Structure 1
Amino acid sequence: MRNHWSSYYKWLQKGHWSWLGLSRQFVRLILKVVKQEVIHLVIDDTLTLRASKKAPGSQIHHQHGNKPNLAQYVRGQCWVSLAWVIRREKQPVALPLLTRLVPGISNTGKRVAAKTLIRAVYRLLDGRKVRVLVDSWYMRRIFIESMLARG
């Protein structure tokens, strides 16, 4: 680092820059460094517990993890994430690309968020063989047809 840490902190907090642009540049870097025949993109959602009703996207969600220390329904934010999985020294590693807050509690919102994340980076992967791995919440005709239309 050439500058004092506070300079970077101020840039992150007050600077004008694009998360999307940063993510696309990260994808370009991965394409130069990692050589794979097939690119594996993974989409998954996660629930971040919240106490405040004022938190953006804070809703009551069914807690699917069946954790004994949590109620069946909890307040939280649902995030959908896109990652690129690479194999490094026989171990798979997920490189996070983008994350999007789901505005509602329906599974439709998750699929819309997933399609948005793919749309943000798919042009950079044009001409390459790509597999999109998702769990069963995303397995609906409209989502699958959207992925097939992008090749």
Structure 2
Amino acid sequence: MNAKGQAGIPGELCNWITFLAKVLPLRSTGTFIELLIGAMLTPTGFVTDAYLMLTMRNHWTSYYKWLQQGKWSWLALARQFMRLVLASVTHDVVHLAIDDTVTLRTSKKAPGSRIHHQHGNKINLPAFVQGQCWICARPMLGQSGNHHSSSQQGAGSAAVTFPLDASW
């Protein structure tokens, strides 16, 4: 991406976006950049909000189809994001946090939907719920050592989030 003449976009951000876009097919890069910038400008980061934030080149269905049926690999993009994070941080130790969460679903036909034990012990939910289990992995960037004090807790954002296959 050429950042010349784009005073509003920091050069480092352009370099990062270019680095991420390298794993995508050339035809997908414009769509990816539009959705990424739109998501970065919204408080929620949702695709619909990203679409409404910018004046997009294409109709909404083009972005939906690109996300659902596009010829790109979200795993390759996640790996590239992890490479970017690891190349950009100066920490000696980077911890990878892996966690699971259940998204409640009423439909048994939703991909990966099944009965899960609700181990959060929430009083407004039964012990077993219908839902999708999602696995999240994120690099934790912070000071090593005692992670129980609030001054030393790391920060991170989810690098990879995907639904657990129903066969597990």
- Where do 5+ consecutive residues of structure 1 fail to align? 110-151
SS state at 1:75 partner: strand
Residue number in structure 1 paired with 2:56: 5
SS state at 1:24 partner: helix
Rounded Cα–Cα distance in structure 1 between residues aligned with 2:56 and 2:158: 24
Rounded Cα–Cα distance in structure 2 between residues aligned with 1:26 and 1:8: 27
AA partner of residue 56 (structure 2): W
SS state at 1:43 partner: strand
* Cα RMSD (Å): 2.8
Q: Which has the higher contact order (CA 8 A, sep 6+)?
A: 1
Rounded Cα–Cα distance in structure 2 between residues aligned with 1:72 and 1:23: 33
Instruction: Write out aligned runs for 1:91-102 (5 A).
Output: 92-102=154-164
User: Runs (4+) of structure 1 moved beyond 6 Å?
Assistant: none
Instruction: Write out aligned runs for 1:21-40 (5 A).
Output: 21-40=76-95
Identity of aligned residues (%): 44
The alpha carbon displacement at 1:91 in A equals: 5.1
Rounded Cα–Cα distance in structure 2 between residues aligned with 1:48 and 1:6: 33
Aligned residues: 106
Instruction: Write out aligned runs for 1:1-150 (5 A).
Output: 4-7=55-58, 10-11=62-63, 13-14=65-66, 15-87=70-142, 92-104=154-166, 109=168
The alpha carbon displacement at 1:6 in A equals: 4.8
TM-score by length of 2: 0.54
SS state at 2:135 partner: strand
The alpha carbon displacement at 1:7 in A equals: 4.0
The alpha carbon displacement at 1:98 in A equals: 1.2
The alpha carbon displacement at 1:79 in A equals: 1.0
Rounded Cα–Cα distance in structure 2 between residues aligned with 1:6 and 1:71: 46
Rounded Cα–Cα distance in structure 2 between residues aligned with 1:41 and 1:4: 36
The alpha carbon displacement at 1:72 in A equals: 1.2
- Where do 5+ consecutive residues of structure 2 fail to align? 1-33, 38-53, 144-150
TM-score by length of 1: 0.59
SS state at 2:159 partner: strand
SS state at 2:142 partner: strand
Q: Residues 89-145 of structure 1: CA distance to partner in whole angstroms, max 9, x if unpaired?
A: 96521221112322237xxx3xxxxxxxxxxxxxxxxxxxxxxxxxxxxxxxxxxxx
Greater Rg by CA: 2
Rounded Cα–Cα distance in structure 1 between residues aligned with 2:153 and 2:56: 33
Rounded Cα–Cα distance in structure 2 between residues aligned with 1:31 and 1:22: 14
